[in-house]
Structure formats: structure tokens, C-alpha cells
Structure 1
Amino acid sequence: MARLIVLAGFFFAFGFALVPLYDTFCEAVGFNGKTLKDALAAKDAPPSAINYSRKLGVQFTATLMPGLPWEIRPLEPAIELHPGELRTTRFLVRNLSDQTIVGQAVPSVSPTVAARHFRKLDCFCFTQQTLAPGESREMALTFIIDGDIGDEISELTLAYAFFLAPKDPA
């Protein structure tokens, strides 16, 4: 009986620790489009050389999760750029409700091997966004795709899932 209790406690602790371990793993290897660690490091890193010998296609998408009464769309659904080139694009967001709403964007890059080369220098996804009733706003994303990205990648997609931010319990 004691062994079963210890085993159950171990599994509970493992399950509790799994989410932060998974997030740390994803940020470290760029899996599942998590690029925050790379973006923070990119602010101090020297700019990568622009590779004018090739172009990449980049698509932008946005999805709203249930419960978030917003409208969101990229102002440029697709662009072409040279690897290493600094680019800024914008998303238009509008609060369709009669209440102030706080939302949070979660990015994902595909193919997943490209995530480690996609460096966000400034992004609305770094913080929660508050929109007043009926308010519209353009939100900027400034990024670089490393010049040393592999030749096997010619197109990538940056997708944002927008969630209703949890309410402050206070």
C-alpha cells in the first residue's frame, strides 16, 4: 500500500512539472513555434547578414479562440523577403463587444524547424493587449529570419492564436 501511495505521489509531481518542462524544452529547441528565448537573445546579438541570393515567402495568419469577441487580420497576409532582412508588418485588431477586453496572442511558426531562425524583435505577443469597446488598433511585429536558414526552407508561416486573457483574481 505504501508503494502505491509513493508511486501515485511521484506521478502527481511528474504531471504537475510536465507543463513548465515542456515549455522550457520548446523554447530551447524552437519546437512548436516558441521563439521568445531567441527573440530576447536577438536584441543583444549582432544583425545577421542579408542573403540577397534567395527569397523566402512568409504567410501570416490569426485565429480567435472561443470567448474572444475580436476581429483580427494581418494587413499583409503574405510577404517575400531576403533572409537576414529586418521587416515590420502589422495586424489590425478590433474589439466587437461593448466591454473592455484583454487578450493574449500566442505565436507558432511552421515548419517547426524554421522557428529557431525566426527572431521576433518587437511583437504584440510579448504582452497582453487591452482594447476598449469598439476600439481598433494596428499591432506591429518586427522580425528577422536568420540569413543562415537552411536552403530546404523556402516558405514559412507565422500563426497567432488569440485567447481571452484570464481575469485577475484580485
Structure 2
Amino acid sequence: MSEASANRRLIQRLLLVVVAMFGFGFALVPIYEVMCQALGINGKTAGVVYEGVQVVNEARTVRVQFLATNSAGMVWEFRPKNDELLVHPGAVNEMIFVASNPSNSIMTAQAVPSIAPSVAAAYFHKTECFCFTQQVLQPGQRIEMPVRFIVDRDLPEDVHHLTLAYTLFDITATKSPAAVAGR
């Protein structure tokens, strides 16, 4: 085998590796979504319907703390209306988060939730959440965004406090100007 044909085979193999890596990069997002939904991790509970939920123990309360932070470079003001709620496991609850865009341009954001302690994530079910969709705000616009949730009545008895934290990311640059303006 000549040196030229060996080089050609090496280049073909390297190109195949590059294409495979590129394809795998695109496949990671749907794989992540499926895994989060199947395992109930990272607060991904969209599309789950909870019917017939009820409080079994009226005496039991769980403190749910709410945190809101911005990622680096995100200029929006973002906060929960209250810092915490005392809830009964099995009851439907709601918290409102407030966001405003103080910039002079249209911006798109995506909130990413997390729940602590991690053992409680499987028992925290969001039935409606602003984190399920991207939020587009005009310059100076302010919105109230609800999150409706149920702390499962099967939450382990030793868990008395949960924290639902959201980090808000500026994804304006990932949207085409026509898509942002069309919303």
C-alpha cells in the first residue's frame, strides 16, 4: 500500500469520526430530554397529568423555598413573588415568578429548574410551568409566570424542606431575528 492511499484511508476515517461526533452532538438533546422524563430528574415533568390528587395527612406540611437566579450576562430582573410556601403533600399549589426586561431590545429566555434535595425531585411534580416554554419579552415588558405543582404525598417523612430553584438563561442569540420578532 502506497503512502498516498494510506493517507487517503486515514483522512476518510477521520472524516467519518467528525461526522459521527457531529451527529452525536445533535442527538444529545433529545436523549437528555427522554432520560429526564423517564427518570423524573432535573425537574422535567412536562406532560404528566395528575388527577385525583388529595391530601392524606392535613397535619403534615413541607416548606418549599423558591430561588431565582440569572445566568451570566442575563439582564432581566427575575424573582418569585414569595420566598417560600408551606404546603400539604398531595395538594395543588401555585407560585408566581416575575420577570422584566430592562434592556432596549427584544430578548428570549429559558428557565432551567432544579430541585433539592435530589431525593425529593421524584416527588415534586410541576403540572404547569413557565420553564416548559421560552419566554419572549419586549423592551421594558414585565410578566408574571405561574408554576403549579404538587408535592407527592409519598414524599419520605424525613424530608421537611424542598428548594425549587430556577436559573434564567438568555437564549436570544440562538433565535433567528425573524423568529424573535414574530412572537
Shift of 1:84: 0.9
Shift of 1:67: 3.1
- Pairs within 5 Å for 1:101-120: 101-120=107-126
Q: What is the DSSP-based 3-state SS (H/G/I as helix, E as strand, rest coil) of the residue aligned with 2:162? A: strand
Shift of 1:52: 1.3
Higher Cα Rg, which structure: 2
After superposition, the Cα gap between the structure-2 partners of 1:46 and 1:14, relative to the gap in structure 1 and judged at 3 Å, is same
Q: 2:42 aligns with which of 8, 11, 32?
A: 32
Q: 1:22 aligns with which of 25, 32, 42?
A: 32
Shift of 1:118: 1.3
- Pairs within 5 Å for 1:50-129: 50-129=56-135
In the alignment, structure 2 segments of 5+ residues that lack a partner are 1-5, 179-183
Shift of 1:147: 1.1
In the alignment, structure 1 segments of 5+ residues that lack a partner are none
The percentage of counterpart residues that share the same residue type is: 42
After superposition, the Cα gap between the structure-2 partners of 1:14 and 1:168, relative to the gap in structure 1 and judged at 3 Å, is closer
Q: What is the DSSP-based 3-state SS (H/G/I as helix, E as strand, rest coil) of the residue aligned with 1:113? A: helix
After superposition, the Cα gap between the structure-2 partners of 1:18 and 1:125, relative to the gap in structure 1 and judged at 3 Å, is closer
Q: What is the DSSP-based 3-state SS (H/G/I as helix, E as strand, rest coil) of the residue aligned with 1:68? A: coil
Rounded to whole Å, the distance in 1 between the matches of 2:28 and 2:43 is: 18
Shift of 1:14: 5.3
Matching residue of 1:41: 48
* Mapped contact 1:56–1:80 kept (Cα < 8 A): yes
Mean Cα deviation higher: 134-143 or 1-10: 1-10
Rounded to whole Å, the distance in 1 between the matches of 2:45 and 2:69 is: 19
Shift of 1:22: 3.1
* Mapped contact 1:58–1:78 kept (Cα < 8 A): yes
* Mapped contact 2:109–2:170 kept (Cα < 8 A): yes
After superposition, the Cα gap between the structure-2 partners of 1:10 and 1:94, relative to the gap in structure 1 and judged at 3 Å, is closer
Q: What is the DSSP-based 3-state SS (H/G/I as helix, E as strand, rest coil) of the residue aligned with 1:33? A: coil
Superposition TM-score, scaled by structure 1 size: 0.82
Superposition TM-score, scaled by structure 2 size: 0.77
Q: Specify the code of the residue in structure 1 equivalent to 2:84.
A: A
Q: Specify the code of the residue in structure 2 equivalent to 1:153.
A: V
